[in-house]
Protein backbone atom coordinates (compact mmCIF):
# COMPACT_ATOMS: atom_id res chain seq x y z
CA UNK A 1 0.00 0.00 0.00
CA UNK A 2 2.78 2.33 1.00
CA UNK A 3 4.86 1.63 -2.11
CA UNK A 4 1.78 2.17 -4.19
CA UNK A 5 1.23 5.61 -2.75
CA UNK A 6 4.91 6.43 -3.09
CA UNK A 7 4.82 5.41 -6.72
CA UNK A 8 1.72 7.48 -7.21
CA UNK A 9 3.31 10.58 -5.71
CA UNK A 10 6.47 9.99 -7.77
CA UNK A 11 4.35 9.96 -10.89
CA UNK A 12 2.58 13.15 -9.88
CA UNK A 13 5.89 14.90 -9.14
CA UNK A 14 7.10 13.98 -12.59
CA UNK A 15 3.76 15.04 -14.02
CA UNK A 16 3.98 18.42 -12.32
CA UNK A 17 7.55 18.84 -13.49
CA UNK A 18 6.57 18.03 -17.09
CA UNK A 19 3.68 20.44 -16.80
CA UNK A 20 6.00 23.23 -15.68
CA UNK A 21 8.55 22.47 -18.40
CA UNK A 22 5.95 22.52 -21.14
CA UNK A 23 4.47 25.76 -19.82
CA UNK A 24 7.91 27.32 -19.52
CA UNK A 25 8.74 26.40 -23.11
CA UNK A 26 5.57 28.00 -24.47
CA UNK A 27 5.95 31.07 -22.24
CA UNK A 28 9.53 31.60 -23.42
CA UNK A 29 8.34 31.46 -27.01
CA UNK A 30 5.65 34.05 -26.18
CA UNK A 31 7.98 36.41 -24.33
CA UNK A 32 10.98 36.03 -26.62
CA UNK A 33 9.74 38.65 -29.12
CA UNK A 34 9.28 41.19 -26.31
CA UNK A 35 12.70 40.43 -24.88
CA UNK A 36 14.39 40.63 -28.26
CA UNK A 37 12.54 43.87 -29.07
CA UNK A 38 13.79 45.52 -25.86
CA UNK A 39 17.27 44.08 -26.22
CA UNK A 40 17.64 45.34 -29.81
CA UNK A 41 16.28 48.77 -28.92
CA UNK A 42 19.21 49.15 -26.48
CA UNK A 43 21.90 48.42 -29.07
CA UNK A 44 23.55 50.97 -31.30
CA UNK A 45 23.61 50.32 -35.03
CA UNK A 46 27.04 48.69 -35.04
CA UNK A 47 25.99 45.99 -32.58
CA UNK A 48 22.91 44.84 -34.50
CA UNK A 49 24.83 42.42 -36.69
CA UNK A 50 27.27 41.21 -34.03
CA UNK A 51 27.72 37.48 -34.05
CA UNK A 52 26.93 35.59 -31.85
CA UNK A 53 23.85 37.67 -30.99
CA UNK A 54 24.09 39.79 -27.84
CA UNK A 55 21.22 38.99 -25.47
CA UNK A 56 22.02 41.64 -22.86
CA UNK A 57 23.60 44.63 -24.60
CA UNK A 58 26.07 46.18 -22.19
CA UNK A 59 26.41 49.10 -21.84
CA UNK A 60 22.89 49.83 -23.14
CA UNK A 61 22.37 52.65 -25.60
CA UNK A 62 19.46 54.99 -25.03
CA UNK A 63 20.01 57.09 -28.15
CA UNK A 64 17.67 55.01 -30.32
CA UNK A 65 14.70 56.35 -28.40
CA UNK A 66 15.70 59.98 -28.81
CA UNK A 67 16.54 59.36 -32.45
CA UNK A 68 13.03 58.03 -33.12
CA UNK A 69 11.64 61.29 -31.77
CA UNK A 70 14.06 63.32 -33.89
CA UNK A 71 13.21 61.50 -37.10
CA UNK A 72 9.44 61.23 -36.64
CA UNK A 73 6.81 63.23 -34.73
CA UNK A 74 6.38 60.28 -32.40
CA UNK A 75 4.68 62.38 -29.69
CA UNK A 76 1.94 63.12 -32.24
CA UNK A 77 1.47 59.40 -32.93
CA UNK A 78 0.98 58.83 -29.22
CA UNK A 79 -1.46 61.69 -28.94
CA UNK A 80 -3.44 60.68 -32.06
CA UNK A 81 -3.71 57.04 -31.03
CA UNK A 82 -4.71 57.79 -27.45
CA UNK A 83 -7.25 60.50 -28.17
CA UNK A 84 -8.90 58.51 -30.96
CA UNK A 85 -9.16 55.42 -28.76
CA UNK A 86 -10.47 57.48 -25.83
CA UNK A 87 -13.07 59.23 -27.98
CA UNK A 88 -14.33 55.97 -29.51
CA UNK A 89 -14.48 54.34 -26.07
CA UNK A 90 -16.35 57.21 -24.41
CA UNK A 91 -18.78 57.42 -27.31
CA UNK A 92 -19.45 53.68 -27.35
CA UNK A 93 -20.15 53.66 -23.60
CA UNK A 94 -22.66 56.51 -23.77
CA UNK A 95 -24.47 55.70 -27.03
CA UNK A 96 -24.42 51.92 -26.63
CA UNK A 97 -25.48 52.42 -23.00
CA UNK A 98 -28.47 54.52 -24.06
CA UNK A 99 -29.58 52.04 -26.70
CA UNK A 100 -28.86 49.01 -24.50
CA UNK A 101 -30.94 50.52 -21.68
CA UNK A 102 -33.81 51.43 -24.01
CA UNK A 103 -33.90 47.93 -25.56
CA UNK A 104 -33.79 46.31 -22.13
CA UNK A 105 -36.09 48.50 -20.06
CA UNK A 106 -38.20 51.00 -22.01
CA UNK A 107 -41.40 50.21 -23.88
CA UNK A 108 -41.78 51.55 -27.40
CA UNK A 109 -43.25 50.29 -30.69
CA UNK A 110 -41.23 47.96 -32.97
CA UNK A 111 -38.69 47.45 -30.18
CA UNK A 112 -37.94 43.79 -30.96
CA UNK A 113 -37.90 44.26 -34.71
CA UNK A 114 -35.45 47.15 -34.41
CA UNK A 115 -33.25 45.13 -32.08
CA UNK A 116 -33.17 42.20 -34.50
CA UNK A 117 -32.20 44.61 -37.25
CA UNK A 118 -29.21 45.76 -35.20
CA UNK A 119 -28.34 42.17 -34.36
CA UNK A 120 -28.09 41.35 -38.06
CA UNK A 121 -25.22 43.84 -38.39
CA UNK A 122 -22.93 41.27 -36.69
CA UNK A 123 -22.78 39.56 -40.09
CA UNK A 124 -21.44 42.64 -41.89
CA UNK A 125 -17.64 42.58 -42.27
CA UNK A 126 -15.86 45.96 -42.25
CA UNK A 127 -13.81 44.81 -45.25
CA UNK A 128 -16.97 44.84 -47.39
CA UNK A 129 -18.23 48.22 -46.17
CA UNK A 130 -14.83 49.92 -46.32
CA UNK A 131 -14.96 50.60 -50.06
CA UNK A 132 -18.18 52.68 -50.24
CA UNK A 133 -17.29 54.26 -46.90
CA UNK A 134 -13.96 55.36 -48.32
CA UNK A 135 -15.65 56.89 -51.37
CA UNK A 136 -18.23 58.71 -49.22
CA UNK A 137 -15.56 60.00 -46.88
CA UNK A 138 -13.49 61.22 -49.79
CA UNK A 139 -16.54 62.98 -51.32
CA UNK A 140 -17.11 64.71 -47.99
CA UNK A 141 -13.46 65.71 -47.77
CA UNK A 142 -12.97 63.56 -44.66
CA UNK A 143 -10.17 61.38 -45.99
CA UNK A 144 -6.91 62.25 -44.23
CA UNK A 145 -8.78 63.32 -41.08
CA UNK A 146 -9.46 61.36 -37.91
CA UNK A 147 -13.23 61.48 -38.45
CA UNK A 148 -13.48 58.05 -40.16
CA UNK A 149 -11.48 56.47 -37.32
CA UNK A 150 -13.73 57.87 -34.58
CA UNK A 151 -17.36 58.22 -35.64
CA UNK A 152 -18.02 55.14 -37.82
CA UNK A 153 -16.58 52.66 -35.25
CA UNK A 154 -18.37 54.48 -32.41
CA UNK A 155 -21.83 54.28 -34.02
CA UNK A 156 -21.04 51.26 -36.22
CA UNK A 157 -19.47 47.88 -35.50
CA UNK A 158 -17.84 48.59 -32.10
CA UNK A 159 -20.94 50.42 -30.91
CA UNK A 160 -23.30 47.60 -31.96
CA UNK A 161 -21.35 45.13 -29.91
CA UNK A 162 -21.69 47.47 -26.92
CA UNK A 163 -25.48 47.60 -27.40
CA UNK A 164 -25.77 43.81 -27.14
CA UNK A 165 -23.43 43.56 -24.19
CA UNK A 166 -25.12 46.32 -22.18
CA UNK A 167 -28.67 45.25 -23.06
CA UNK A 168 -27.73 41.84 -21.72
CA UNK A 169 -26.62 43.49 -18.49
CA UNK A 170 -29.58 45.88 -18.07
CA UNK A 171 -32.05 43.00 -18.51
CA UNK A 172 -30.71 41.46 -15.29
CA UNK A 173 -31.53 44.58 -13.24
CA UNK A 174 -34.90 44.22 -11.48
CA UNK A 175 -37.68 46.42 -12.89
CA UNK A 176 -38.58 47.68 -9.38
CA UNK A 177 -35.46 49.81 -9.38
CA UNK A 178 -36.64 51.53 -12.54
CA UNK A 179 -40.16 52.01 -11.15
CA UNK A 180 -38.89 53.39 -7.84
CA UNK A 181 -36.75 55.96 -9.60
CA UNK A 182 -39.68 56.92 -11.83
CA UNK A 183 -42.06 57.34 -8.86
CA UNK A 184 -39.48 59.57 -7.19
CA UNK A 185 -39.78 61.82 -10.20
CA UNK A 186 -36.71 60.74 -12.17
CA UNK A 187 -37.04 61.09 -15.95
CA UNK A 188 -35.86 58.14 -18.09
CA UNK A 189 -32.74 60.18 -18.78
CA UNK A 190 -32.14 60.72 -15.05
CA UNK A 191 -32.74 57.04 -14.31
CA UNK A 192 -30.35 56.05 -17.04
CA UNK A 193 -27.58 58.47 -16.19
CA UNK A 194 -27.73 58.51 -12.39
CA UNK A 195 -28.86 54.97 -11.56
CA UNK A 196 -28.34 52.58 -14.45
CA UNK A 197 -24.94 53.68 -15.73
CA UNK A 198 -23.25 53.51 -12.29
CA UNK A 199 -24.77 50.05 -11.81
CA UNK A 200 -23.34 48.97 -15.15
CA UNK A 201 -19.80 50.02 -14.18
CA UNK A 202 -18.30 46.47 -14.33
CA UNK A 203 -19.82 45.81 -17.77
CA UNK A 204 -18.75 49.25 -18.94
CA UNK A 205 -15.20 48.54 -17.76
CA UNK A 206 -15.05 45.33 -19.82
CA UNK A 207 -16.56 47.06 -22.82
CA UNK A 208 -14.12 49.98 -22.46
CA UNK A 209 -11.08 47.70 -22.33
CA UNK A 210 -12.25 45.84 -25.41
CA UNK A 211 -13.11 48.99 -27.37
CA UNK A 212 -9.97 50.88 -26.36
CA UNK A 213 -7.67 47.99 -27.27
CA UNK A 214 -9.41 47.48 -30.56
CA UNK A 215 -9.05 51.14 -31.52
CA UNK A 216 -5.47 51.46 -30.21
CA UNK A 217 -4.38 48.45 -32.28
CA UNK A 218 -6.54 49.13 -35.36
CA UNK A 219 -4.50 48.99 -38.54
CA UNK A 220 -6.67 48.61 -41.64
CA UNK A 221 -8.64 51.84 -41.25
CA UNK A 222 -5.72 54.18 -40.48
CA UNK A 223 -3.92 52.55 -43.41
CA UNK A 224 -6.63 53.40 -45.92
CA UNK A 225 -7.70 56.80 -44.55
CA UNK A 226 -4.54 58.60 -43.41
CA UNK A 227 -1.95 60.16 -45.71
CA UNK A 228 -0.34 62.95 -43.66
CA UNK A 229 2.49 61.91 -41.43
CA UNK A 230 1.30 64.12 -38.57
CA UNK A 231 -2.06 62.30 -38.43
CA UNK A 232 -0.64 58.76 -38.18
CA UNK A 233 -1.49 56.38 -35.38
CA UNK A 234 1.16 54.18 -33.76
CA UNK A 235 0.49 50.91 -35.66
CA UNK A 236 0.38 52.74 -38.99
CA UNK A 237 3.60 54.66 -38.29
CA UNK A 238 5.38 51.44 -37.29
CA UNK A 239 4.26 49.54 -40.36
CA UNK A 240 5.68 52.26 -42.57
CA UNK A 241 9.05 52.25 -40.76
CA UNK A 242 9.71 48.70 -41.93
CA UNK A 243 8.62 49.20 -45.48
CA UNK A 244 11.52 51.51 -46.22
CA UNK A 245 14.33 49.64 -47.85
CA UNK A 246 17.15 48.61 -45.52
CA UNK A 247 15.16 48.59 -42.30
CA UNK A 248 17.02 50.13 -39.38
CA UNK A 249 16.03 47.51 -36.87
CA UNK A 250 17.45 49.26 -33.80
CA UNK A 251 15.16 52.25 -34.46
CA UNK A 252 12.14 50.15 -35.41
CA UNK A 253 12.52 48.14 -32.21
CA UNK A 254 12.85 51.30 -30.11
CA UNK A 255 9.65 52.63 -31.71
CA UNK A 256 7.91 49.28 -31.15
CA UNK A 257 8.90 49.31 -27.47
CA UNK A 258 7.45 52.81 -27.10
CA UNK A 259 4.23 51.87 -28.92
CA UNK A 260 3.70 48.76 -26.81
CA UNK A 261 4.74 50.02 -23.39
CA UNK A 262 1.59 51.99 -22.39
CA UNK A 263 -0.74 49.07 -23.07
CA UNK A 264 1.53 46.54 -21.39
CA UNK A 265 1.80 48.64 -18.24
CA UNK A 266 -1.96 48.98 -17.97
CA UNK A 267 -2.36 45.27 -18.72
CA UNK A 268 0.02 44.22 -15.96
CA UNK A 269 -1.79 46.45 -13.49
CA UNK A 270 -5.28 45.19 -14.35
CA UNK A 271 -4.70 41.70 -15.74
CA UNK A 272 -7.78 40.03 -14.33
CA UNK A 273 -10.09 42.71 -15.69
CA UNK A 274 -8.39 42.47 -19.09
CA UNK A 275 -8.80 38.72 -19.36
CA UNK A 276 -12.40 38.90 -18.16
CA UNK A 277 -13.15 41.69 -20.62
CA UNK A 278 -11.55 39.95 -23.56
CA UNK A 279 -13.01 36.56 -22.69
CA UNK A 280 -16.45 38.09 -22.29
CA UNK A 281 -16.21 39.90 -25.58
CA UNK A 282 -14.74 36.84 -27.24
CA UNK A 283 -18.05 35.19 -26.57
CA UNK A 284 -20.02 37.51 -28.81
Partner 1 sequence: MNKSEKWYGFLFIAPMMVGYAVFLLGPMISAFAMSLTDRSLMGEGSFIGFANYARAMTDDPVFWESVRNTFVFAAGLIPLNLGLALLLALLLQRKLPGIGLFRTAVFTPVITSIVVWAIVWKYIFATDAGLLNHLLSMIGVKGPAWLYNMDLAMPVVIVVSVLKNVGLNMVLFLAALQDVPKSYQEAAVVDGAARRTVLLRITLPLISPTVFMAFLLTLIGSLKVFGQIYVLTGGGPGTSTHVLVYYIYQLAFKLSEFGYASAVAFVLFFLLMGMTLIQWGVRKRWVFYEN
Q: Answer yes or no whether residue 26 interacts with partner 1 by CB under 8 A.
A: yes
Residue number with CB closer to partner 1 (66 or 138) = 138
Of these, 87, 90, 118, 199, which contacts partner 1 (CB under 8 A)? 118
8 Å CB contact between 39 and 57: yes
Q: Answer yes or no whether residue 111 interacts with partner 1 by CB under 8 A.
A: yes
Residue number with CB closer to partner 1 (60 or 188) = 188
Q: Answer yes or no whether residue 23 interacts with partner 1 by CB under 8 A.
A: yes
Alpha helices in 121-187 (DSSP H): 126-139, 147-155, 157-171, 175-183
Of these, 1, 123, 183, 269, which contacts partner 1 (CB under 8 A)? 123
Of these, 75, 112, 127, 198, which contacts partner 1 (CB under 8 A)? 127
First-residue to last-residue Cα distance in the chain:
51
Q: Within 10 A of 102 (CB to CB), how many other CB atoms are there?
A: 19
8 Å CB contact between 129 and 198: no
Q: How far is the CB of 266 from partner 1 (least distance, A)?
A: 9
SS3 of 146, please? coil
Residue number with CB closer to partner 1 (201 or 283) = 283
Three-state SS letters, 117-134: HHHHHHHCCHHHHHHHHH
In sequence order, which residues have a C-beta less than 8 Å from that of residue 46 and are 6 or more positions away?
A: none
Number of residues that bind partner 1 (CB under 8 A): 96
Q: Which of residues 29-68 bind partner 1 (CB under 8 A)?
A: 29-34, 36-37, 40, 48-49, 51-53
Of these, 85, 99, 226, 254, which contacts partner 1 (CB under 8 A)? 99
Helix axes 271-282, 201-217, angle to 10 degrees: 80
Q: Which of residues 142-171 bind partner 1 (CB under 8 A)?
A: 151-152, 154-157, 159-160, 163
H/E run at residue 96: helix 74-105
Q: Answer yes or no whether residue 279 interacts with partner 1 by CB under 8 A.
A: yes
Q: Which of residues 220-249 bind partner 1 (CB under 8 A)?
A: 220, 223-224, 234-236, 238-239, 241-242, 247, 249
Amino acid sequence: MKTNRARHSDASVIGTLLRYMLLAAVSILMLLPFFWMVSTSLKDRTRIFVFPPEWFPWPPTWENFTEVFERQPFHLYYFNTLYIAAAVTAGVCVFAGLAGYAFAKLKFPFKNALFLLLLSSMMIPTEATSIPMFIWMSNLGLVDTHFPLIVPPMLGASGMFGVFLLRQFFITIPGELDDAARIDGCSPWGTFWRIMMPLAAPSLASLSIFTFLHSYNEFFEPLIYLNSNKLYTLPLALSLFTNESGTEWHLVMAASVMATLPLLLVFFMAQRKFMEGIALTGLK
